[in-house]
Amino acid sequence: MCPSCWSTALVNRTSSGRGVIHTFTVQHRPGAAGFADEVPYTLVLVDLDEGVRVLADLRDYEEGALAVGMRVKARFEPGPGNVVLPRFRPAAQETT
């Protein structure tokens, strides 16, 4: 539902998966049992270019390079159990 007006009249739209990091945190305790083997991991709140804000984890970044405003790109990858999750990487590393 829309967080502004509470409408349930939602529409699916295609996104490029590109955006900028709004904020981030490093998780040292898993947010769910399925992520226990992945700690520590970095969660990022990303402002997508299309205006949507998304929470996901960040992969393959150089230590010390993580910053608010960093350009990132999402890829969908297998996660714990039988789910597919969006996972971000620095946009400079993306070739597609």
| Cis peptide bond N-terminal to 40, omega within 30 | yes
In degrees and rounded to multiples of 5, residue 35 shows phi and psi of: -100, 5
- Whole-structure pTM value: 0.82
- Residue by residue, pLDDT tens for the chain (96 residues) are 787 899 999 888 899 999 999 999 999 998 888 888 889 999 999 999 999 999 999 999 998 899 999 999 999 998 888 889 999 999 986 554
pLDDT value of position 93: 67
Burial state string for 55-88 with b = 16 or more CB within 10 A and e = fewer than 16: ebbbeebeeeeeeeebebbbeeeebeeeeeebbb
